[in-house]
A and B are shown apart, each in its own frame.
Chain A
Amino acid sequence: MLTADQQLINEHAMSRNRFLRRLGIVGLWLNPVFSYFFLWAPILVLVLFSFNQSRSVASFSGFTLKWYSNILNNMMGAESAFSTELLLNAFRNSLFVGTVATAISTVLGTMIALSMARGKYKGKRLLDALLFFPVVIPEITQAISLAIFFKVVFDWFALMSGERIFPGFHTIVAAHVTFNISYVAIVVRARLADMDPQLEEAANDLGANPWQTFWRVTFPLILPGVISGALLAFTLSLDDFVITFFTSGVGTTTLPVFVYGLLKLTVTPEVNAISTIMMVLSTLFIGISLTIQGRAVPRA
């Protein structure tokens, strides 16, 4: 039997609890409203002002497509660092670097993934660490270490042979392959872990040699993983700015490095228009590549 005082205290506690719960529910609804606004406002503002009549980004004064036509017609003023030709050139460079780096890193990443999944040797933890560190190391540390490395190697080469090598596509591709290998290896290993090793044993028992077993059994089964890894590598390569910035040379500007040069200067409606186009293109690209892999959300 509760005394009146205890009952009062109980009721008080319950009403406070109810109040807190209501507050929690309101908070749980306010937070997404704020969060989605925070996530989307910058993007919507950027798109909006790429259609603004005046050059101002302070207020919207009317709809126009003239900034887009300026880009197409190459009219951005003589002092501008922009020309449509340079943009397309940078885009071609990006595609070239991305393709070559993806090809090499997919082969290397798949090889080490296979070796670690099926091999019987010691020291795999060390290999784990070797694949793990490129993922966690700060980008800028990796960037400057590669820049210094190339400089040291090229200086030494010039001293030995009298010929000077300059940074260019080879240095960018080498750098991209280095940071891509780990990602490919991780994705392919996940796929290999899901695969039944008995299938390979069965092929072996049926008289297939290791080469036949690989191409007829293992490879078709891990192919989705290899494709996922390759697409991830290609996306990372197309998107990379910091490491490319430190390893590129004259005339080998990739798209992100070129765009950085534009964004760094000032806010102009043309830059907003270029950004909008790139945003649409990269969203389409990632959307398509994820659809190929048959899922809407990338697996963590």
Chain B
Amino acid sequence: MTSWLARKRESGFLLAIPTIAWLLILFVLPLVIVMIVSFMSRGRGGVAIMPFTIEHYQRSFGIFSIILWRSISLAALTTLVCLVIGYPLAFFISTRRNRLFQQVTLFLVILPFWTNFLIRTYAWRILLGDEGTINGFLLSLGVIDDPIQMLNTQFAVLVGLVYGFLPFMVLPIYASVERFNFRYVDAAHDLGANDLRTFLRVVLPLTLPGVLAGCALVFIPSVGAFVTPDLLGGTKGLMIGNLINNQFGGSGNMPLGSALSIVMMAVVMLSLVVYLLANRRDRGA
């Protein structure tokens, strides 16, 4: 035993033990417990009791599949919109020749995100509400006669998610465009490629690592979003994060909530695997 300890001390492993222990007890063990609870039955007050069952997973993919699908498709759409807005924006920022102007344009993307996520999301309630700023503006112009319902819809959730995660798309793409050597564009033009071809065959492949990283960084938190749909989505924009939240309370169902969060974790892990594979293929090519 002493020799084992001495050997471990020699190797520097001992120094890592407190941290490993902390993470095993407060990160790994809780996840294992959630995994076990997700296979248990619902008792009085929503707690987990024996016997084991797969009922909650059946429900997750059964009646709750609409919400699961909605979460995945809203997250995918968020990623797409962020890419469409973020790619040209990142390109714009990184191609500014004036160093100061470039830093200002980058700073203007980052600065709003120094504010708490809750407050940034709340701001959209002011804009999108029936008696909100956008409706007020359109009504006063006479464009519409009745307010358009925007708050408490999936549209509001989409806008909120895009707003919440846009910098996660812009920053990695900015980093990869920064590294891009624009002489390749001249070379492609000299070799007879037009602008579109140059973009598709030269610019896009070389900035793809940034695009992939951006997509992963936007998609992953979007799937598990809880605050955005909670503040902006109402019942129509309910996402899986809200469904999980609803299972923890008076009339809740802890095993069901656990099963749903395991399913969500699986979706996130799957998208991470897709990202890693795409990244590896990209590097190999």
Contacts and interface: CB of A to CB of B under 8 A. Distances in A.
Interface stretch (B57-65, B109-117, B277-285): B109-117
Contacts of A260: 118, 227
A136 B268 CA distance: 8
Nearest to A59: B136
A259 B258 contact: no
17 contacts: A32-B89, A38-B85, A39-B112, A45-B133, A56-B136, A115-B13, A118-B12, A138-B268, A141-B31, A148-B30, A181-B19, A241-B118, A263-B122, A267-B122, A282-B116, A297-B103, A297-B106
Interface string A80-123: 00000000000000000000000000001101101110111100
A149 B30 contact: yes
A21 B193 CA distance: 13
Contacts of B166: 35, 38-39
Given A137-B265, A242-B227, A259 B26 contact: no
A268 to B, nearest CB: 10
Contact of B112 (A43, A141, A287): A43
Interface of A: 13, 17, 20-21, 24, 27-29, 31-32, 34-36, 38-43, 45-46, 49, 56-59, 108-109, 111-112, 114-116, 118-121, 127, 130-131, 133-134, 136-142, 144-149, 152, 174-175, 177-178, 181, 185, 239, 241-242, 246, 256, 259-260, 263-264, 267, 271-272, 275, 278-279, 282-283, 286-287, 296-298, 300
A51 B182 CA distance: 48
Contacts of A149: 26, 29-30, 33
A138 B220 contact: yes
A49 B268 CA distance: 38
Given A42-B120, A56-B136, A112 B19 contact: yes
Given A58-B139, A272-B126, A297-B107, A278 B172 contact: no
Which of B22, B117, B119, B132 neighbours the largest number of chain A CB atoms within 10 Å of its CB? Answer: B119
Given A28-B92, A45-B123, A141 B136 contact: no
Contacts of A259: 116, 118-119
For the complex of A and B, 6 pairs with smallest distance between CB atoms = A58-B136, A138-B224, A119-B12, A42-B123, A149-B30, A115-B16
A296 B23 contact: no
B110 to A, nearest CB: 6
Given A111-B16, A256-B118, A31 B92 contact: yes
B123 A134 contact: no
If over half of B's interface residues share one DSSP class (helix, strand or loop), that class is named, otherwise mixed; here it is: helix
Contacts of B16: 111-112, 115-116, 119, 127
Interface string B216-253: 00001101101100110000000001001100100000
Nearest to A46: B123
A181 B23 contact: yes
Contacts of A59: 136-137, 140
B254 interface: yes
Given A17-B194, A28-B88, A36 B108 contact: yes
Nearest to A20: B195
A297 B110 contact: yes
B221 A31 contact: no
Nearest to A36: B108
B114 A282 contact: yes
Which of A21, A39, A271 neighbours the largest number of chain B CB atoms within 10 Å of its CB? Answer: A39
A184 to B, nearest CB: 10
Given A138-B223, A144-B34, A145-B33, A57 B171 contact: no
A279 B115 contact: yes
A118 to B, nearest CB: 6
B85 A35 contact: yes
A111 B221 contact: no
B91 interface: yes
Which of A120, A148, A259, A297 neighbours the largest number of chain B CB atoms within 10 Å of its CB? Answer: A148
Given A138-B221, A279-B115, A283-B115, A178 B27 contact: yes
Interface string B144-172: 00000000000000000001001000011
A121 B224 contact: no
B93 to A, nearest CB: 8
B106 A241 contact: no
A148 B120 CA distance: 30
B242 to A, nearest CB: 9
Interface string B13-26: 11110111011101
B42 interface: no
Interface string B120-140: 111111110101110111011
Nearest to A298: B110
B132 A58 contact: yes
A115 B19 CA distance: 10
Nearest to A184: B19
Given A108-B18, A181-B22, A242-B226, A39 B109 contact: yes
Contacts of A300: 171-172, 175
A32 B118 CA distance: 25
Contacts of A264: 230-231
A169 to B, nearest CB: 15
Contacts of B33: 145, 148-149, 152
B11 interface: yes
